[in-house]
Amino acid sequence: MLSLGRSTVWRALAVLGASLTMVATLGTGNASAHGAVSDPPARAYDCYTRWSGSWQDPAMETEDPMCYQAWQANPDAMWNWNGLLREGVGGNHQAAVPDGTLCSGGLTFDGRYAALDEPGAWHAVDRPNSFTLNLLDNSSHGADYIRVYVTKQGFDPTTQPLTWDDLELVTETGSVPTGTSTPVEVNAPGRTGHHIVYTVWQASHLDQSYYFCSDVNFTG
């Protein structure tokens, strides 16, 4: 029978403990679910749904470089795709979320989602200029309103940080119940190519504001 020295056993236990701590940390996001735009998918949600089963796969670096850099920067941001929020904004979104930090909710949670602000070739889904956006809210927080903005024609999300001036408000709901399916009709005429659809969801259960960047390739 193989006999292990005391120091070898302690090293093995230390590695196991570190691994379990990492798993526990990465798994915290879905335990207290809030929500996100699921279609067209918000950046963190998109990276999570497409790569959570293989988030350490080196192939991601060449196949999906923007999700790769986001996972590398902070994997907890991907596991917490449903927690990109700020509290106590009081409706003053532009003050709480400065230019260049819109996709990270103004670097909320000490910059956990900062990688989402990086310009680059984010994975974009094809959509016509009129489409239905869906907000996924498993906690059924409800919405005082949902505002949907779209970048103006000429904005280049692969090279430019997103600012409020780059956006046009195209849809705003009133108070609505939310759940696993919360459709919002969007019409963004005059646009072609890669754009950012920016959604502000003001939850109704608390003064809790959510901010989502979704990448869309408008096909006309």
User: pLDDT of 163-188, one tens digit each?
Assistant: 999 999 999 999 999 988 999 999 99
In this predicted structure, the answer to whether residue 13 has a pLDDT above a threshold of 70 is no
Helix (H, G, I), strand (E, B) or coil at 192: coil
pLDDT (mean) for 23-38: 58
Exposure string (b/e) for 87-119, b if CB count within 10 Å is 16 or more?
A: eebeeebeebbeeebbbbbbbbbeebbbbbbbb
Q: Render pLDDT for 56-109 as a digit per residue (tens, 0 to 9).
A: 999 999 999 999 999 999 999 999 999 999 999 999 999 999 999 999 999 999
Tell me which architecture the domain covering 6-218 has in CATH: Distorted Sandwich (2.70)
Q: Under DSSP, is residue 122 helix (H, G, I), strand (E, B) or coil?
A: coil
The residues facing 167 across adjacent strands are 151
- Summarize pLDDT for 122-157 with one digit per residue, the tens: 999 999 999 999 999 988 899 999 999 999 999 999
Q: In whole angstroms, how far apart are CA 58 and each of 14, 29, 37, 62?
A: 26, 24, 27, 8
Residue 33 has a pLDDT of: 64
**Hey, where are the domains in the chain?**
6-218
Quote the pTM value.
Answer: 0.85
Nearest to 110 by CA among 145, 148, 76: 76
Does residue 17 surpass a pLDDT of 50?
A: no
